[in-house]
Amino acid sequence: MMLIKHTLSYLKIMTIVLSLFLLIACTESDDSDSVTTSSTDESDIVYSELDNTDDWSEATHEKLTTDEIIENIDVVFNTSEVQKLRIVIESENWTVMNDDLEELTEELNGSTDFSDLDNPIFVPSEVFYYSEEDDSWTEWYKVGVRFKGNSSLYNAGNSKLPFKLDFDEFEDEYPAIKNQRFYGFKQLNLKNNYDDQSEMHEVVANDIFRDFGLASAHSTFYALYLNVDGSGDEENDIYYGLYTLVEEVDDTVIETQYYDNDDGNLYKPEDDAATFASGTYDEDEYGLKTDDDETYEDIAALYDVINDSSRTSSDDEAWQASLEAVFDVDTFLKWLAANSVMQNWDTYGVMPHNFFLYHNPDTGTFEWIPWDNNEALVDNNRALSLTMTSVDEDEWPLIGYILDQATYEAQYQTYLETFAKSYFNDDSSTEYNINDEFTTFESLIEDYVASEGNDYTFTSEEEFEEAVETLIEHTSERYDSAQRYIGW
């Protein structure tokens, strides 16, 4: 033990020396990359033996066909009940996770610029899923678990932190779990419902986007229990609260929602380049999630067309044709209309993040995929108006330049009216009544919300009830706003 302590002390000293050297070197150039100073690394992880895999079955633990994964969506993302997950993490690895998070937080130093920050460290864990039908827990082995998120992680202010699961992250260390999957899913996100006192924004927004014909992650409610004291005993579990389980876009969203056309490039743009404004092109900020093509020719073509000087000529049809050859404008307008009616300020038009661009090989065009919708369905003064008059078109050209075109503006208004009437019209005759979904989910999750401990919640019973009422009022107000704007 003393040898380990001395070795770790030596490593920490060497890390500090190296960090100082790099800091001095970086002061010589204004173009240098930021330096990551976290001293926690994979050598700190404890890898205990894998005794057995008794619960392993082909149907639940192995890679599946796309059709089989699609069939399992209703199991994993069943919104008719609150499902349960247990995560058992050895106490030493829980310490590793928290030490790493502390170092990352210190590196952030109060900033909200998360762009150059490393992802938190993965450690192995055991994950248990409760089957209501069988009244039993099924185990997944040595599953990679780490903290995730930006504001929801670093600004949480309590112990209810978000997590990411990767079911074969440690297959090299444990060959017995090679290609381990959770009903066909490799990665899953456990979001902590930060800044959402209703705890249902993400689920409802994702449901509506998909129902409106957009590709969007599936999500649902899970009660999460953690065991981190080293015992592994269920009686020592800590109820971490109600979480939202969210599908990973670069895992199964593309595979299942594009089916035979799932081998195109997927990007998750962040920061200035995500605006596509003139002068912002930066491959490092486009977040290529696939390895098929690292030349960035497709995303560069999109940027070039958006900023082509021909846009300001009198030939609108020529610019529209060149844009539609590389960008699915119709899908973007559909998303823009839906997002504007429901209101979501934490995305394109206000913030340069929280969307994916998928280059569909079938059409050769980029399609817009919304992401991270916990701030949707909120009346926030940062949200864009339905008219988009507050948008600086040169700063947000995908909105400004596109809506400058009369034909596109008319299509946007058509989608806006259709969306408002289809989802926000409080009329029992509509096929999908969002207020019915709010009240159904309220009954479903209220006991789990009420059971959240003081250090594992962002709401209270009273705040939860008020938040649901506010959601219902919000839909009525947004319907009225859309009606005033369109004038139907």
Q: What is the pLDDT of residues 334-381, one digit of tens each?
A: 999 999 999 999 999 999 999 999 999 999 999 999 999 999 999 999
Residue ranges with strand state E in 200-354: 219-227, 238-247, 266-267
Task: Tell me how far the alpha carbon of residue 479 is from its chain's centroid.
Answer: 27
Question: CB-hemisphere CA count at 13 Å for 424?
Answer: 26
CB under 8 Å to 224, separation ≥6 — which residues? Answer: 84, 85, 87, 163, 190, 239, 240, 241, 242, 243
User: What is the reported pLDDT for 39?
Assistant: 66
CA dihedral 176, 179, 182, 185 (to 10 degrees): 170
User: Number of helices and strands (H, E) in the chain?
Assistant: 14, 10
Task: Tell me how far the alpha carbon of residue 47 is from its chain's centroid.
Answer: 29
CA distance 137 to 379: 40
SS3 of residue 319 by DSSP: helix
User: What is the reported pLDDT for 254?
Assistant: 97
Sheet arrangement for strand 266-267: 266-267, 355-360, 365-370
SS3 of residue 141 by DSSP: strand
pTM of the predicted model as reported, rounded to 2 decimal places: 0.90
Poorest-pLDDT segment among 14-18, 106-110, 208-212: 14-18
Q: Write down the H helix ranges in 389-430.
A: 397-403, 406-423
Average pLDDT over residues 223-228: 98
Phi, psi of 129 (to 5 degrees): -115, 130
Q: What is the mean pLDDT of the chain?
A: 90
SS3 of residue 130 by DSSP: strand
CA distance 323 to 319: 6
% pLDDT > 90, the chain = 82
Return the closest-CA partner of residue 87 out of 40, 123, 47: 123
User: What is the reported pLDDT for 225?
Assistant: 98
User: What is the reported pLDDT for 7?
Assistant: 40
User: What is the reported pLDDT for 150?
Assistant: 92
Average pLDDT over residues 98-108: 96
Task: Note whether 402 and 391 are within 8 A (CB).
Answer: no
Q: Which amino acid is at 108?
A: L
Q: How many CB atoms lie within 10 A of CB 379?
A: 13
CB-based contacts of 293-296 (< 8 A; 24+ apart in sequence): 293/265
